[in-house]
């Protein structure tokens, strides 16, 4: 009998610069067995990391901040080499992470402090009540390819501050920036509570199968598979998934700011941001004027393979597959009657796609119903505010949105009617790196959130309730054995008196 040969998994992964196809580096395609071993070591090291307390952990995180800032140039070089980003896009990642380190180290101790709730229930009144926040021992962080340094670090930092160990599994497309993050942790001589599992989806699945909490950022399809696996294992997870962020432009808006902001919000990082603007709804009276301004702004965007000289606004798409999706969305739209105002095609070598504005777009087109994750801005004309809200909410996604209006109260009123995790008024992409705010998607855009002040660090913890007597306890309690009619009646009377309203308090 002949055996079917099993598919051989490559032991290494080559990483290419998508702007020119040159080799940027190579990583190991870690086996599930190696992941098991890594988690075992992290689990072992976590005990003393947790016991060390927040102050000691903050010291290491501040040392990491120094290391990251001292190595900022090199990190940006690595980022650029594996993503094909412009220098402008690459160079924001280090400062954002330096700021995240400032935020979490400033607040970690307070956010992790025990709570002592006061109870008015007869069950709790004589007790000292404590809620303490104990970390999930090993947190797995699985990241996508669009912002490889930020993605690895922004979730690892609060998890580490909480006292967890972290296992980072970066995207196989862009693993090199996460390698730098782990190298930084090693070089400052910190305890071995950060490990890296480079590799493909098989490595990712092994991470999900072994850690105690999953923080995932990536596609809705993979997020759903991960959620199913986590549910089976009964471990908690937090998912930040796809988005299709609408921008609503009202007739009273500052149209220059709206055009500038939406051009940036749609094109930054070549549109490869989960919260990039992917659909623009414009009120009829200003439609023509706004479209003209937006088209001009987008047509002026420079694009190319950058050096360290900040020569271009945007760079390449991360993969040729991504470029094909963008092309398909444009082609579908044109076939169904949309007009290309600017762009609409790949440019040059590599995976570049010209910044694109589409008009005469219908809500049913793939450029509106599917996530594009590329440099396209489809524009739809709407009759009024109600239609803009209805169409903006007509999506399986619900990550974030922007509202452009001269009336802030109107902006806030509209925001409260949009079914998304965040709304920026007269701005795009403003919320995610304000660490005090929760950043999470609704509907198919995610489960849970990152950041959000205390929530952002406590999510990596298991709350533990501790009760202790306030006064020296008696030998027995009313509810303990033996039972009796008198004791049961007394319990009922006391509970009624404290819980119920009106005559029911007295059993009448």
Question: Shortest distance, CB of residue 239 to ligand ADP, whole angstroms?
Answer: 10
Among 83, 171, 177, 356, binds ligand ADP (CB under 6 A): 171
With contacts defined by CB under 6 A, name the span among 25-33, 85-93, 185-193, 204-212 that binds ligand ADP.
204-212
Question: What is the closest distance, in whole angstroms, from the C-beta atom of residue 317 to ligand ADP in the complex?
Answer: 12
Instruction: List the one residue from 80, 174, 222, 405 that touches ligand ADP (CB under 6 A).
Output: 222
Out of 93, 172, 240, 278, pick the active-site residue: 240
Residue 230 among the catalytic residues: no
Asked if 357 contacts 377 with a C-beta cutoff of 8 angstroms, the reply is: yes
Instruction: Return the residue of 201, 337, 473, 507 that touches ligand ADP, per CB under 6 A.
Output: 201
210/233 Cα distance (integer angstroms): 9
Q: Minimum Å distance from CB 93 to ligand ADP?
A: 17
Question: Which residues have CB under 8 Å from 266's CB, separation 6+?
Answer: 247, 276, 277, 278, 280, 298, 375, 376, 377, 428
Nearest residue (CB) to ligand ADP, 141 versus 164? 141
Residue 188 near residue 63, CB atoms below 8 Å: yes
Count the neighbouring beta carbons within 10 Å of the beta carbon of residue 134. Answer: 14
Site membership for ligand ADP, residue 370 (CB under 6 A): no
Q: Is 371 a catalytic residue?
A: no
Which 8-state DSSP code applies to residue 303? B
Which CB, 273 or 461, lies closer to ligand ADP? 273
168 binds ligand ADP (CB under 6 A): no
The CB-of-127 to ligand ADP minimum distance in angstroms stands at 43
Tally of CA atoms within 13 A in the half-sphere of 311 that contains its CB: 7
How many residues line the site for ligand ADP (CB under 6 A)? Answer: 17
CA distances from 227 to 221, 234, 273, 281, 485 (A): 10, 10, 22, 33, 50
Interaction of residue 225 with ligand ADP, rule CB under 6 A: yes
**Long-range CB contacts (within 8 A, 24+) of 342-346:** 342/295, 342/298, 342/299, 343/298, 343/299, 343/375, 343/376
238 binds ligand ADP (CB under 6 A): no
State the Cα torsion 388-390-392-394 to the nearest 10°: -150
Binding segment (CB under 6 A) for ligand ADP, from list 72-80, 169-177, 329-337, 422-430? 169-177
Structure-block tokens of residue 16 = 């290419």
Taking CB under 6 A as the binding criterion, the range among 60-68, 168-176, 297-305, 348-356 that sits at the site for ligand ADP is 168-176
Residue nearer to ligand ADP on the CB measure, 180 or 313: 180
Contacts of 98 (CB under 8 A, 6+ apart): 65, 68, 69
Cβ–Cβ < 8 Å for 419, 393: yes
Q: Residue 350, interface with ligand ADP (CB under 6 A)?
A: no
In the set 30, 180, 230, 274, the catalytic residue is 274
Q: Give 135 or 218: the residue with its C-beta nearer to ligand ADP.
A: 218
Question: Of residues 85, 136, 169, 329, which one binds ligand ADP by CB under 6 A?
Answer: 169
Stretch 373-412 residues interacting with ligand ADP (CB under 6 A): none
Query: Which residue lies nearer to ligand ADP by CB, 201 or 337?
Result: 201
Rounded Cα distance between 277 and 245, Å, is 5
Chosen residue from 54, 135, 144, 432 binding ligand ADP by CB under 6 A? 144
Q: Are 453 and 439 in contact (CB under 8 A)?
A: no
Q: Closest-CB residue for ligand ADP?
A: 204
61 near ligand ADP, judged by CB under 6 A: no
Q: Is 441 in the site for ligand ADP (CB under 6 A)?
A: no
| Planar angle of CA 314, 316, 320, nearest 5 degrees | 155
From CA 186, how far away is CA 176, in angstroms rounded?
Answer: 15
Q: How far apart are CA 229 and CA 463, in angstroms?
A: 23
Count CA atoms closer than 13 A to 156's CA, side-chain side: 28
CA angle 322/431/109 to nearest 5° reads: 115
* Closest distance of CB 226 from ligand ADP, Å: 5
State how far the Cα of 268 lies from the Cα of 155, in Å rounded to an integer.
22
d(CA 350, CA 275): 24
Under rule CB under 6 A, residue 227 binds ligand ADP: no
Q: Binding to ligand ADP by residue 218, rule CB under 6 A? A: yes
Selected range binding ligand ADP among 32-40, 200-208, 355-363, 450-458, rule: CB under 6 A: 200-208
> From the CB of 221, what's the least distance to ligand ADP, in Å?
7
Contact 436, 289 (CB under 8 A): no
Among 41, 219, 419, 426, binds ligand ADP (CB under 6 A): 219
String of contacts with ligand ADP for each residue 253-272, x by CB under 6 A:
--------------------
Is residue 140 at the binding interface for ligand ADP, with CB under 6 A as the rule?
Answer: no
Just list the catalytic residues: 240, 274
**Residue ranges binding ligand ADP (CB under 6 A):** 142-145, 169, 171-172, 200-201, 204-205, 208, 218-219, 222, 225-226
């Amino acid at each position: 009998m002949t055996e079917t040969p099993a598919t051989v998994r490559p032991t290494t992964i080559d990483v290419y610069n998508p702007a020119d196809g040159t080799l940027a580096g190579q990583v190991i395609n870690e086996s599930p067995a190696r992941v098991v071993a890594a988690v075992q070591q992290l689990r072992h090291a976590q005990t003393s990391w947790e016991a060390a307390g927040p102050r000691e952990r903050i010291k290491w995180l501040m040392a990491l901040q120094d290391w990251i800032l001292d190595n900022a140039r090199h990190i940006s070089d690595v980022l650029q080499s594996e993503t094909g980003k412009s220098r402008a896009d690459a160079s924001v990642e280090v400062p954002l992470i330096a700021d995240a380190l400032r935020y979490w180290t400033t607040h970690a101790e307070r956010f992790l402090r025990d709570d002592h709730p006061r109870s008015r229930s007869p069950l709790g009144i004589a007790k000292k009540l404590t809620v303490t926040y104990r970390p999930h021992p090993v947190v797995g962080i699985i990241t996508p390819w669009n912002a490889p340094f930020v993605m690895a670090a922004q979730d690892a930092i609060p998890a580490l501050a909480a006292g967890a160990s972290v296992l980072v599994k970066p995207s196989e497309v862009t693993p090199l920036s996460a390698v730098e993050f782990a190298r930084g942790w090693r070089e400052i001589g910190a305890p071995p509570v950060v490990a890296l599992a480079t590799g493909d989806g098989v490595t990712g699945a092994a991470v999900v199968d072994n850690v105690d909490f999953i923080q995932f950022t990536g596609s809705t399809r993979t997020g759903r598979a991960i959620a199913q696996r986590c549910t089976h294992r009964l471990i908690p997870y937090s998912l930040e998934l796809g988005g299709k962020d609408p921008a609503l432009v009202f007739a009273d808006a500052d149209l220059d700011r709206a055009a500038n902001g939406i051009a940036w919000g749609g094109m930054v990082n070549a549109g490869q941001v989960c919260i990039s603007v992917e659909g623009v709804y414009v009120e009829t009276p200003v439609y023509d004027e706004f479209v003209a301004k937006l088209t001009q702004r987008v047509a002026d965007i420079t694009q190319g393979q950058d050096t360290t000289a900040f020569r271009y606004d945007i760079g390449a798409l991360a993969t040729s597959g991504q470029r094909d999706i963008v092309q398909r969305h444009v082609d579908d739209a044109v076939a169904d009657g949309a007009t290309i105002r600017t762009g609409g095609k790949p440019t040059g070598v590599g995976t570049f796609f010209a910044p694109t504005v589409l008009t005469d777009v219908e809500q049913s087109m793939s450029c509106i119903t599917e996530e594009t994750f590329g440099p396209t801005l489809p524009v739809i004309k709407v009759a009024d505010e109600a239609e803009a809200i209805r169409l903006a909410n007509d999506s399986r996604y619900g990550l974030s949105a922007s509202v452009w209006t001269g009336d802030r109260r109107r902006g806030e009123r509209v925001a409260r009617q949009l079914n998304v995790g965040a709304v920026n008024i007269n701005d795009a992409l403003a919320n995610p790196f304000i660490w005090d705010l929760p950043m999470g998607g609704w509907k198919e855009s995610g489960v849970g959130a990152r950041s959000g002040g205390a929530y952002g660090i406590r999510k990596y913890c298991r709350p533990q309730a501790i009760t202790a007597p306030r006064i020296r306890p008696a030998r027995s309690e009313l509810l303990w054995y033996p039972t009796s009619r008198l004791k049961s009646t007394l319990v009922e009377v006391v509970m009624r008196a404290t819980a119920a309203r009106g005559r029911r308090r007295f059993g009448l």
